[in-house]
Structure 1
Amino acid sequence: MSFEGKTAWITGASSGIGAALAKEWAARGAAIILSGRDEARLAEVAASLPTETLLLPFDVRDEGAMEAATDKATGWIGHVDIFVANAGISQRSPAVDTAMQVYRDIIEVDLTAQIAATQALLPHFTARGSGHLMFISSIAGKVGVPMRTAYCAAKHGLIGYADALRGELSQSGVAVHVVCPGSVATDVSRNALTADGSKRGRSDKVIDNGIPPQEAARRIIDAVEAGEREIIVAEGMEQAMGESRRTPDAMFDQVAAMVAAGYMEKMQAED
């Protein structure tokens, strides 16, 4: 698969995995659309890229701004070929101490907003009959990890949405990929919310010693090229945890076969 001439739109692109994916795809010839809340940091990422770049800063929780950005993204070159739902925020607090608003905030950013952005783009992808939708979940989207109950709920939900969507789109030419990173050396822990919703402000040793973002991005894009539907990017115990909960390809194929056999049409005919 060549990414030359393709357009990749990445949310949460001002740092970490999002910025690394932008650099890797640009190095492989793709035009890049960068989204996030901090326009200045997006501009810094754009300045490091060798290909055409469009900045679309917005808060993923603002559906009006997101829909306006969708119009600009699809109209820029005329097509979006890859969409990466990457914006997210983590958590470090025990459930018993965590305010309900923290659950609402994390689920809104990590799940609901990613679904809304995808829904806005779906007509563009299905009309073209091609493209890649990529959802950045986590090993914590496969395994319940203590101190991350809200984060796990959101990331498990994102995988559920993506898996169901993959089945629906299996005859359309649009590919759906779920990415489950383990510890990657980003600011995810430093920016995580604590029990009262404030930022933690410090990192974890396991994160600081994690996979370098550019290495994670290379692995992810290589897996997309290989057609992998569920992509686990982790090492050691985290990799073992993710692999132990990996959805077998045979299950994805079974769902696709149901759709090919008319499952959706039969369900709709019964309504």
Structure 2
Amino acid sequence: MARVRYGPRSEADIAAAKSSRAVLPDIWSTGVVAVWTTDPDAVAQVLPPPLKPAEQALVRVNISQVDLFGSPLGAGSFAVGAQHGAHTGWYPLVMPMSTERALIGGREVFGEPKKLGEVAVEREGDRVRATLTRHGITFVEVGGRVTGELPPPAPVEKLDFYFKFLPAVDGEGFDLDPVLVHCTRNERVRRLERIEGEVLLRESPFDPVADLPVHRLLEITIGEKTSDQRGRVVERVSPRALLPYVHQRYDDPMQVLDAPPAPASPAVPTGGE
């Protein structure tokens, strides 16, 4: 009988897939990173418990492109500085991805707040423009002029915080208790350049990052980097405490409550015979 591809995979197939993930080569991306200070109260408002604001109210935007085995991938992240106990890291509010594969893996495995979007990094000579776009709105734009090389930093470990959860089937809360994930990346940079420029945040009802304005721009850089990624569940969190923040993950969390469209009303005669 012919193999049915939706059928079960053998233990050997599953083991081979796991083994191949462990020996992936380094994947280098070209990315623009901007960091700025913002309104401390705004940062405090977007952090679900048990996360707390970091010592300084910071925002970091990362906009990258990579040729992933012959397929272009755009990846973005808009994150605020946060703390969990003694750990300091970043809490991403939105992570636009240009492919479904990148979106699904991150959301389902790590709980990353990924959404399909358009991610672009453009360079002509010393001019650079990087953008995040969704629903036709370019809600983040970073642009400027490259002003010189920077020494590549030493390898560094970076930490992101994610909440992994599943909305309940009946629309009431969650199916299981949500968990807080620590995602650690070991990052290496082989080239880094300084950019003098600006960050523009545009109003979007779907990605309201304009609520975290640029108070003082600390740096803009463009570089080539690679990193690995591993995550671990560190604790279960209160469903009641997390529920008010679930809308961060979805463009329209109320759509599950929408009624079917009303039937069109019959035309009302306005005159004539």
Larger helix proportion of the pair? 1
The TM-score, its normalising length taken from structure 1, stands at: 0.23
TM-score by length of 2: 0.23
Q: Which has the higher Rg, Structure 1 or Structure 2?
A: 2
